[in-house]
Structure 1
Amino acid sequence: MKHRRDLHLLAASAAFLTLAGPALALDGADMMKKLAAATGVGGTVITFEKADVEGDTVTASGVEVGLATLPGDKLKIGDITFEGVKETEGGGYYAKSVAFPDVDMKQEEGHFSARDILVQGLTIPANAAGTTLDDILLYEIVRTGPIVFNLKGKDVFSIESTESDLGREDNGFTYDANVTGLKIDLSQVDDASAKDAIDKLGLTTLDGALTMKGSWEVESGKVAVDEYAIDFKNVGRLNLSLDFSGYTLNFMKSLQEAVKTTEANPNKEEANQAMSLAMLGMMQQLTFNSAELRFDDASITKKALDYAGSQQSVSGDQLAQSLKGLVPVMLAQLNLPELQNQISAAVNTYLDDPKSLTISA
C-alpha cells in the first residue's frame, strides 16, 4: 500500500512539473522582440535569427543592428549572451549582464575594433510605446575595453576604456560617463598647411580623456549637464555645462513621432523641411535656464598666438595686443555696452596671462 501511495505521489509530482515547466521557462524570442521594439523607438533596428534559453541565460544568435534611416546597411553582431534574466512584473525583462562579441571590421585601408563590451542591469520594457519610466529601455552600467580605428596600418584613433553609469531615482536619473586613454594621431594629415600648423603647435599626437556628468528630472523635464569635458595634455580642458527644462517623456514621444514621420516620407527634401519646422516648434517648448563654457589652458594659447603671429610676420605678443584692440570693435555691433565691456575685460586678462576663460549665460 505504501509503495502504491509513493507511485501516485511521484506521478502527481511529475505531472505538476511537466505542466509548470513551460509556464516558468523564459521566452527568449519574446524578450528579443521587446528589446527590438524598445530600441526601435529611437530609430535603431535589431534583428535576430533565434534565441535559445538555458536556465536564466538567453543566447540570441545571428543578431544584426542597423538604422531605420539606412535600411540597406546592417552591422553583423553575432551572438549576444544575456545572463541572470528574469521576467519582470507586467511582462518586461531584466538581465543582470549582457555580453557582446568583440567587433572587428575591415574595409579597404581601414580597420575598426572594439573589445570587452558589457552591459550590466539591462531593463527591457514590456511596452516601449508607453509614457512612464517603466516604458524606457534602461541600463545600470555599460563598459567597453579598447576601441581602435586603424588607417593604413597606423592607429589614428584609440580609447583604452569607457564606462557609463545610469542611476535611477524617484524623480528621474543621474548619469556619469568616462572615456580614458583617448589618443588621436594627426601625423597622417595630408594637407601641407594643416600639417605645418599641427607640427608647430605640437598637436601631432593628442592624449586625453572625456568626462560627462548630469541628471534628468522626468516630471519637469529638467536636464542638467553638469560636466561635458574633454581634456588633452599640453592643450587644455574644455568644459560645457548646460541646464534647460521641458524635456519630458511627452516631449520625447513627440520627437520620436516626428522622426518616424520623416522616415516614412519618400520625398526626403520635403521630409527634411517638415522635420526642421517640427523641431522649431518643439524647441519652443524647452526653457533655457543657464549655460557655461570654460577653457583651462595647458600651454596651447601661447603656441597658437606665436603660430598665428608668424603667419602675419609678427610675434605672438604683438598679435595678442592687436586682438585686444580688435575685440571691442567686433563687439560694438551687439550694441550692448555692459556685455561688451565684460567680454573685452575677460579677453584682455586671458591674453595677458592665459589660465582660464569662462563664458556664462
Structure 2
Amino acid sequence: MTTSRTTRLLMAGAAFVALSGPAWALDGQDLLAKINAAYAAGSGVLKAEAVEVNGNDVLLKGTTFTATGPDEKSIKLGDLTLQDVTEEDGGAYHVDRIEFPEINVTEDKGSFSVKDLYLAGVTVPGSTAAQGLASMMLYEEAHSGPLSVIADGKPIFSVSEASATMELADDESSLSFEASISGIKADLTVTDDPKSKETIEALGLQQLDGEITLSGSWEPASGALEVEDYTFDFANVGSLSLSFALSGYTMDLVKQLQETARTMQADPKNEQAQQAAGIAMFGLMQQMSFTSAHIRFDDAGITKRGLDFAGKQQGTSGEQMAEMVKGMVPILLAQAKLGALQNEVSTAVNTFIDKPGNLIVAAEPEKEVPFPMIMGAAMGAPETVPSLLGVKVTANEE
C-alpha cells in the first residue's frame, strides 16, 4: 500500500511538472516586446521573422533593426542568440550575452563592415514606467571589433575597437560609465574639392590617427550628471578634453525630452509642430542647473601649421600672422563684452600663440547656476556671464 501510494505521488508530480513546464518556460515574444518598449525611447524597433526558445537561450531569427525618424533606415542583423536569459522580479529579463553576426553593407561604390559585436550583462526592464534606472535597458559591456568604411575601393575610415561599460552602484542609485574608441583612422585625401585639398595638405591632415575616451556618472534621482573626461586625441593634431557637471537631469526630465523628440520626429515637415516642440524642449532644459565645466586643448603641431597656412593666404609668414592674431584678439573681445575677463583671455592667447602648449577654459561658479539665470544674463547683460559662471582662461599650465 505504501509502494502504491508513493508511485501515485511520483506520477502526479511528473504530471504537474509536465503541465506547468510551458508556464515557466521563457516567453521569447514577451522578451522581444519589452526590448522594443525600451528601445522606443531611443526611437528604434527590432523585428524578428521568428522567435525560438531553447532552454535558457532565445533565438531571434532574421532580425532587422530600424532607426525611426525622418530618414528611417533598416539594418539586417541576421540571427541573434540571446544567451542564458533569466526572468527577474517585475517581469524584467537579464541576458548574459548577445552576439551579433558580422555586418556587411554595400551601396553603390561604397561598403561598410563591422565584426566582433556583442552586448554582455543586458537588463531589459519589465516596464518603462518603473522608477529610476529600473525603467531603462542597461548593459554591463558593449563591444565592437574592427570597423571599416570603403569608397571606390579605397579605405577612408576605420576603427580598431570600440567598447563601453556601465556599472550600477550597490544600491542602484547611480550609474557610472566608461567608453573608448581606439585605432581611429581617416583618409581625408578623398575629397574632390581643390580648396579643401589645399587646406588639408597645408594643415597636415591627410591621414588622421587617434582615439576617443569617455567616463562619467549619473544619479537619476538628484539629476546629478558628471562627465569626468571626454577626450579626442589625434596624432600630430592635438588633444581636446572636455568635462562638465550638471544637476536637474532627472529620469523624469529624460523621459520628457525623449517624448518631445518623438513628437518632432513624428511630423518632421510640420514647421509649426517643430517650432512648438522646440520651444517645449527649450523649456524642459531650463529645469537643469550648471555646476562646472572645463575645456582643455593640448597642441601637437596643428597651431603652427594653421598660422603658416593662414599667413600664406594673406601673403605673409606664419610669424607675422601670429602677431596679427595677437593684435586682433583684444578688438574682438571688446565687441564680445566680456568685461574683466578680456585681459585674462588676451594674456592666455598671447602666451599660447608664442609657444603653443595648452589652452584651458574653466568655469567654476561658487554655487550651481540655474539655466534660466544664465540665459537671462546672456540676453540682458552678456558681460556678467563670465563672473556668473566663474570663468577663467589660462595657457601653458603644467
Pairwise TM-score range, normalised by the shorter structure: over 0.9
Contact residue 244 and residue 293 of structure 2 kept, 8 A: yes
Residues 224-233 or 259-268, more deviating: 259-268
Q: Which residue of 1 aligns with 2:26?
A: 26
d(CA) in 1 for partners of 2:235, 2:31: 45
2:336 is aligned with what amino acid? L
Could you tell me how far apart the structure 2 residues matched to 1:6 and 1:296 are? 80
Deviation per residue, 1:258-277 (Å, 9 max, x gap): 22333444752122111211
Q: Give the 3 Å change call, closer, same or farther, for CA 189–260 of structure 1 in structure 2.
A: closer
Equivalent-residue separation in structure 2 for 1:71 and 1:301 (angstroms): 38
Which runs of structure 2 are paired with 1:49-68 in the superposition (5 Å)? 49-68=49-68
The equivalent of 1:150 in structure 2 is: 150
State the percentage of identical aligned residues: 42
Measured in 2, the distance between the counterparts of 1:101 and 1:304 equals: 44
Give the equivalent residue in structure 2 for 1:308. Answer: 310
Question: Which amino acid in the other structure matches residue 349 of structure 1?
Answer: T
SS of 1:282 mapped into structure 2: helix
Structure 1 residue aligned with 2:76: 76
| Residue aligned with 1:90, SS | helix
**Which deviations, in whole Å up to 9, do the C-alpha atoms of 1:184-206 show, x marking residues without a partner?**
11111111111112122221100
Q: How far apart, CA to CA, are the structure 2 residues paired with 1:268 and 1:97?
A: 42
The change in CA–CA distance for 1:250 and 1:72 in structure 2 (over 3 A counts) is closer
Tell me whether 1:163 sits opposite 2:163 in the alignment: yes
Q: Aligned residue pairs: how many?
A: 361
Q: In the TM superposition, what whole-angstrom CA distance separates every residue of 1:140-163 from its partner, at most 9, and x where no partner exists?
A: 100010111111111111000001
Match of 2:8 in 1: 8
The Cα shift of 1:53 comes to 0.8
2:105 equivalent to 1:105: yes
The question of whether the paired residues in 2 share the 8 Å contact of 1:29 and 1:50 is answered with no
Residue 313 of structure 1 deviates from its aligned partner by: 1.6
Paired with 2:290 and 2:357, the residues of 1 have a C-alpha distance of 29
> What SS does the aligned partner of 2:91 have?
coil
Pairs within 5 Å for 1:236-255: 236-255=238-257
C-alpha distance in 2, partners of 1:178/1:298?
21
Counterpart of 1:355 (choices 344, 357, 365) is 357
Q: TM-score, normalised by structure 2?
A: 0.87
Q: Does structure 2 conserve the Cα–Cα contact (< 8 Å) formed by 1:224 and 1:242? A: yes
The AA in structure 1 aligned to 2:240 is L
Find the counterpart in structure 2 of residue 44 from structure 1.
44
Q: Could you tell me which of 326, 329, 332 is aligned with 1:327?
A: 329
Match of 2:95 in 1: 95
268 and 45 in structure 1: CA distance in 2 versus 1, 3 angstrom threshold: farther
The CA distance in 2 between the partners of 1:22 and 1:76, in whole Å, is 31
Cα–Cα, structure 1 residues 256 and 324, in superposed 2: closer, same or farther, change >3 Å?
Answer: same
Asked whether the equivalents of residues 100 and 118 of structure 1 are also in contact (C-alpha less than 8 Å), the reply is yes
Q: In structure 2, what is the Cα distance between the partners aligned to 1:347 and 1:359? A: 11
Q: Deviations over 1:6-58 (max 9, x none)?
A: 65354234212202311221111110111011101221122222211111111
Q: State whether residues 70 and 265 of structure 2, in contact with CA within 8 Å, keep that contact through their aligned partners in structure 1.
A: no
2:110 and 2:72 map into 1 onto residues whose CA distance is: 21
Cα deviation, 1:60-116, whole Å, max 9, x if unaligned, reads 112211133248632221211111110011111000111111110000011001101
Matches within 5 A, 1:105-124: 105-124=105-124
Note closer, same or farther for the CA distance 1:5–1:326 as it changes in structure 2 (3 Å cut): same
Gaps of 5+ in 2: 364-398
Is contact 2:178–2:215 with CA below 8 Å preserved after alignment? yes
Native 8 Å contact 2:268 2:274 kept in 1: no
8 Å CA contact 1:35–1:124 kept in 2: the answer is yes
